[in-house]
Each structure stands twice: as C-alpha cells, then as structure tokens.
Structure 1
Amino acid sequence: MAAPRQPLRRTLAAAVALLTLAAAGCGDDAAAGGSQATELRYQGSVGQVTLPELAADLGYLGDIRLNWIGNVTGGPADIQATATGQSDFGGAFNGAIVKLAAANAPITAVVSYYGSDAQTFQGYYVLDGSPIRGPRDLIGRKVGMNTLGAHAEAVLKTWLVKGGLTAEEIPKVELVALPPVNTEQSLRQRQIDVAVLGGVIRDKAIANGGIRPVFTDYELLGAFSAGSYVFRDDFIKRNPETVKAFVTGVGRAIEWARTQPRQTVVARFESIIAKRGRNEDPSLVRYWKSSGVAGQGGVITDREFATWIDWLADAGELKGAKPKPSDLYTNRFNGLPSGGGGA
C-alpha cells in the first residue's frame, strides 16, 4: 500500500478548509451563556487511558467533566476535530500542530502529554531474522505506523536524512498507516518490513519475543516531549479558567504518574478502563512505564516545536516565513510551580 507523497499537507489542508464551515458551531460551548464551559468533548484511545482521563479520575479537574465522543488512532485527526469544533481539545505530535497552525488554523498548544525517555519511546522494529540494519536497507521496504504525517514519519525521515538518503531515495521507503493494535501482527505476518511501536504496545510486542529495534526516537533525539494538547483560540478566549483547570489538572496527573510506584499507576488505569465500560481489553496498560513527558507538569519548551518547524521547512511543507515556536504554544494556563507566566 503506497503512502501519498505529502500526506500531512493534504490531510491538514482539508481540516483548514472545514474551519469556515465549522465556525458557526465553535461557539456552542457552555460559555455562550455567560458562564465558562464545564464539559469538554474529547476522543480517547482503545484500551488505553489518556492523561485527561487520569486527571478526571484523580479529581484533578475539579468541576470539569469529560465527554467521550469516540476513539481516534492518530494525532492529526484528533486536532482536526478540535480545529473544526467537533471536539473541545485534542492531542497530536508537535510537528502536526506546527503544520495545522501554519495553515492558519486558530489553535494553541497548552500542555505536553507524551514524549520519549529511556523507559517510554517509539522504536522501529523488525523481525529477528531481518537483514535491515541501517537507513539504506529501508529502500523498497514497507514501514507500518499509526498515522502518516506525524511523529513516526518525522522521526523516520530525520533518521533517513542523517543516514545519507537523498530526496529522491526517501520516497522509495513505503509508509503504511495501520491501527496501533494491528501493527505488531502485521510485522509478524510479514505484511510490513518495519513496525513503529511505542509505549505499552511496544512493550507487549517485545514481551512476545522475536523482534529487535533498528533504532529508536530516544536514541536519535534524546529525551523530549513530542506532543501537546491544543484548544481552539476562540474556546480559550471564552473559557480561560476552564483551560487553566484542564492544563493544571493534566500537569498534576503527569506528576502523580511520575512519582507513584508503577504498579499503583497500572492498577488505576485498569480501574478506569473497567469503570468506563467500553468493552476493552485492559492488558495493554499493564505494560505502562511512563508518560515520557520531559518537562515538569507538561510545561512546553521552544525546542519541542523548533525541531519540527525546521524539519517541515526543509521538507518544503511550510510556505513563507517559518513560525516562531512561541507563537504556537503557551504555558500561561499551567498552574504548577514551573508553569504559569512565560509565553
């Protein structure tokens, strides 16, 4: 299955085109009546617990209620839904946020929610007997990942460039979009040559044996926060206290998970999955190790956007002047000690 040459441009351009149609619906939150929103619509992830869900269960969101409207498999689709008013917040790889914001979507990143560290990272895995060892070995091969135009693709292409592949050679590496829960199986059935596996899905696949990493994003880039939650700018303007409660609650949930014994966090996740009654398999969360978020309480730094601004510009995905990282995010709603103030 061949990947489109410019998936991020086409996918996010479609979202921007919908903004005008959705504008009338963007003001439908509770603040329209003069009070700030107390319910936030969001998309979840099958068999996993998001940080806002954890924050809500811990009581860190105060009076704010979460309204689950379905599941999503990739960040670009999640922030599209936010940009077009179908959800109130969404999360994505920071490079996808750069692209959507550069296309004039009125969104702002407010808190980091995932990243890579020594315990939690995205790896590019092959079967033990695979001849693939380096970047050139991927020419003519298939790489399966959760979504195109996001974290996995950006890291892969950064690695390929550092490995000496030319602009003409890189498109010969075929990218295949697969649901995360099916990626390991596709690798084992040899439908793809490389599987991008992260977090609990990666750990479960490793426990099953027979695979090895070619490289990881942590090895390539070190510890970093990779994705952020965004709100629409009009929502933020009408509901600043709601956004502050959300961001601070998510930040507290990050620190709770960072400081608790792993078994305590896993048990909480299993309890949340059982209570929400979505007929899910809770086995994935038993492999949880960390959120991977680099900054305390999800505080965002310029580096976490600058890396991907440069990548997109070099790939010809940004037109005109490169945006400043500080124009894409804010920490002013983060009430933790290292948050607040700033951009």
Structure 2
Amino acid sequence: MRSRRQFLTLLGASASAVGLAGCGAALAGTPSGGAQTKKLRYQGWAGQVTLPELAEDLGYLGEVKLEWVGNTISGPQDIQSAATGQTDFGGAFNGAVVKLAAAHAPIKAVISYYGVDQLVYNGFWVRQDSPIHAAGDLLHAKVGMNTLGAHDEAMLDIYLDRHGLSASQIAQVEPLALPPVNTEQALRQRRIDVGVLGGILQDKAVAAGGVRQLFSDYQLLGAFSAGTYVMTDRFLKQNPDTAATFVTAVAKAIEWTRTTPREAVIARMTAIVRGRGRGEDPAPLAYWKSFGVAETGGRITDKEFQLWIDWLTARGAVAKGAVSAGSLYTNAYNHYTASAPAPTATATPTTTKG
C-alpha cells in the first residue's frame, strides 16, 4: 500500500505528463474548422449510469450522440484521458481537477455531477466495541479508504484539524488504500481501525450490525458538490454549441432525478444498463438514492474548488497561488435556469443494445 507521499508524487507526475501532452494533443472528436462535432467520446463506469448517459436516454442531447470508448476505474484517469484528447469529456473529484490544472493541463470544469447530501455520503465507521470515540482516539489508527490523496483523505484531515489535532498528531494517523468491497471485512477482522464506506457497501454494513459511525463527510461539511466534468479549452473554443448542448442536457438530467420518484429513476437506469449489452449486473442500481449535486442544474461555485485548493496547498501538493478557484471552471455553457420548468423525458427507456 502506498504512503500518502508516494501517492501524491505519482499523481503529480501523471498530472505533469498530462499537462504537457494536453497542450499539443489533437482532439480526434473535434473538427479543425467548419461544423461542430455532434459526437462526444467518453468513458463509462461498469454497472453504473452516468448523468450524460441518462441525459442521452431522456432525449436531452438532441442530435449530439455519445460514443462509449470503454470504462474507467478512477476519476483522475478519466480527466487525464479528456486532457490528452483520448475522450471529449471526463469527470473526477474536484481535488484532481485542481492538481491537473495546476500542472498546466488545458482543461475547464463545466458542470458538477456528483456530491454529498443527506442521502449520499461517505461514513467513517468503527467496530461497535472500538475504543475510538473522538478525533483524539485516532492517533496511530489505520483508516481504510478507496484512494489516497483524494476525497476521503481530505475529509479525514479536515476532521482531525477541526478537532484540534496538530500537524504532527495528524501525521500519526495512517490512511491505507483498500478496495471498497474489502473495507468492511478488513474492519470486522481488525486489520484496520476505521473504514470509509458509502453507497450500497455502507448500507450492507449497517444492516449487518456491529459497527457505528464516527463521522461522515456530510456531518463535516454539509451538502456540497464534490466532482465536475471537464472539457479542454480547445474543445470548448471549437465546439461551443455542442458543449452547451452537453452541459445543459446534464443539468436537465440532474433536475429530472430530483423531480422524478426514486423508483422511476432506478427503473430508467436499470433499463439503460440492460439495454446496452455490456454484460453488467444492474442489481446495485436498486440502492441508488441521489447524485448529491448541491447546486441547481449542477452550476459550479468557487467554494467547491477552494476547499481542495486550501487542502492541497497546505499539504504542499499544489504551490501557493498556482491556481485560483474562479479560473478552474465556467458556467457559461450551462443554460439551465432555476426558473425553468421541471424537465420531462422526451424518449422512452432504452431497450436496444448499444
């Protein structure tokens, strides 16, 4: 398992490489002149329905079509693919966007696509009989999380800092990278002292009993958007109308999930997974609750990036003043407004393979 420093060094190196590659990469999906592209290449997630996929199925993309080029396994990898022109958009947690932008990658965040709310959050769980009841009890504790140097580690550091632990004390808490599917087992087998769980894995652990929540990111920061889709500056300049169609369609899909009964959203996404013929199991979709996007239509605000700028700067992962929150994103392509009527689907659920 990598240490924090090793992970951040590796992430920084890959971000620098993307920054250099992105400056000269030719975007295969972008025309050199004339008509704007109507095709958007992207990576999906196995067994999941992304907001762009949902937007397309609902008919919100119009003439613009998505072209699936494969699945990704991480947000940082997804936005690196977008920055180097292998795809036309990618999504990641906002800390990864900050690091990539600080490495001079030519990208801009255009819409939030996931976040934290009272329905969707990551909890930091301990065993019921654990002696850990407060931040001060975490000294020398092992904390299992899916990725180092990312969302969960930031939440842990913020929690410890807010409860008065010094930098030297925080350094004594040991984050460990664990596959999410193995985290509950590792916690129950006492291989770790704290496990970070979310979604269906959290629901299953709570149902099984024997664990209690120390804190959650929602308790720590309230509702907030945590990740954004990015496009390159070049793509936005050459395809402004296509970009606006994409961003506004995703915004409509966000609001459709807010105004549609949960059962209907799950049924729609299940039909999409079954219809695209990728050999996926749609069963986990039954546990879907929310995308957690905080702002109406996924509009982005400074505070969603400032959180990560402050954290990464304090850790020395990003140079002070290397980026400013306002330079990382634009809402110019988001034409969804709060006064707009609730969007309605313009197509029936997908049933054919694609």
Question: What TM-score do the two structures reach when normalised by structure 1?
Answer: 0.91
User: Unaligned 5+ residue runs, structure 2?
Assistant: 340-354
Aligned pair 1:121/2:110, yes or no? no
Contact 1:8 1:96 in 2 (8 A): no
The amino acid of 2:314's aligned partner reads D
Name the residue aligned to 2:59. 59
* Structure 1: gaps of 5 or more residues: none
* One-letter amino acid of the structure 2 residue matched with residue 88 of structure 1: D
Distance 2:189 2:276 in 1: 33
Is 1:230 the counterpart of 2:220 in the alignment? Answer: no
SS in 2 for 1:277: coil
2:111 aligned counterpart, secondary structure: strand
Residue 156 of structure 1, CA deviation: 1.2
Distance 1:84 1:134, change over 3 A: farther
Take 2:188 and 2:68, find their aligned partners in 1: how far apart are those partners? Answer: 33
Q: Which residue of 2 aligns with 1:142?
A: 142
Instruction: Mark the CA change 1:182 to 1:269 in structure 2 (over 3 Å): closer, same or farther.
Output: farther
What is the aligned partner in structure 1 of residue 47 from structure 2? 47
Aligned equivalent of 1:157: 157
Report the CA distance shift for 1:145/1:336 in structure 2 as closer, same or farther (over 3 A).
same
* CA distance, structure 2, for counterparts of residue 102 and residue 19 of structure 1: 9
In the TM superposition, what whole-angstrom CA distance separates every residue of 1:52-92 from its partner, at most 9, and x where no partner exists? 11111111111222222333333222212222222221111
State the distance in 2 between where 1:18 and 1:305 align: 20
Determine helix, strand or coil for the equivalent of 2:196.
strand
CA–CA distance in structure 2, aligned partners of residues 11 and 123 of structure 1 = 25
Alignment match, 1:27? 27
CA distance in 1, matches of 2:185, 2:26: 40
For 1:168, what is the secondary structure of its paired residue?
A: helix
Q: Equivalents in 2 of 1:16, 1:269: separation in Å?
A: 36
Q: For residue 234 of structure 2, what is the amino acid of its counterpart?
A: D
Contact 2:114 / 2:228 at 8 angstroms: preserved in 1? yes
> SS of the residue aligned with 2:166?
coil
Query: More displaced, 183-192 or 112-121?
Result: 183-192
CA deviations on 1:265-307 (whole Å, 9 max, x unpaired) are: 1111111111122222222211111111110110111111112
- Give, in angstroms, the shift of residue 221 of structure 1: 0.6
Q: What secondary structure sits across from 2:301 in the alignment? A: coil
The reply to whether residue 319 of structure 1 matches residue 333 of structure 2 is: no
Q: Give 1:338 deviation, angstroms.
A: 4.3
CA distance in 1 between counterparts of 2:159 and 2:36 reads 45
1:120 aligned counterpart, secondary structure: coil
| Mapped partners of 1:185, 1:39: distance in 2 | 43
Q: 5 Å matches for 1:321-340?
A: 321=321, 323-338=323-338
Write the letter of the residue equivalent to 1:306.
Q
Structure 1 residues 273 and 192: alpha-carbon distance in aligned structure 2, compared to 1, 3 A threshold: farther
- Aligned counterpart, 1:279: 279
- Following TM superposition, by how much is the alpha carbon of 1:22 offset from its aligned partner in structure 2, in angstroms? 5.2
TM-score normalised over the length of structure 2: 0.88
**Pairwise mapping of residues 254-269 of structure 1 onto structure 2 (< 5 A)?**
254-269=254-269
Residue-by-residue CA offset, 1:31-67 (whole Å, 9 max, x unaligned): 2363222222222222222111111111111122222
1:229-281 per-position Cα deviation (integer Å, ceiling 9, x unaligned): 11111111111111111111110010000111111111111111111222222
Question: Structure 1 residues 189 and 45, CA, compared in 2 at 3 Å: closer, same or farther?
Answer: farther
Deviation at 1:212, TM superposition (A): 2.2
Q: Aligned Cα RMSD in Å?
A: 2.2
Contact preservation (8 Å) 1:73, 1:146: no
1:51 and 1:145 map into 2 onto residues whose CA distance is 25
The runs of at least 4 aligned residues of structure 1 exceeding 4 Å deviation read none
Q: Distance in 1 between matches of 2:30 and 2:188?
A: 48
Task: Tell me which residue corresponds to 2:72.
Answer: 72
Match of 1:36 in 2: 36
What is the one-letter code of the residue matched to 1:258? Answer: R
Whole-Å separation in 1 of the counterparts to 2:314 and 2:61: 40
- Partner SS for 2:5: coil
Give the equivalent residue in structure 2 for 1:96. 96
Residues 113 and 28 (structure 1), Cα distance of their counterparts in 2 relative to 1, 3 Å cut: same
Tell me, what secondary structure is at the counterpart of 1:81? Answer: helix
Separation in 2 of the partners of 1:185 and 1:278? 29
8 Å contact kept, 1:13–1:100: no
Residue 274 to residue 155, structure 1, CA distance change in 2 (3 Å):
same
| 2:175 alignment partner, SS class | strand
Alignment match, 1:83: 83
SS in 2 for 1:73: coil
**Does 2:203 align with 1:214?**
no
Tell me how far 1:171 sits from its aligned partner. 3.0
The share of aligned pairs that are identical, in percent, is 55
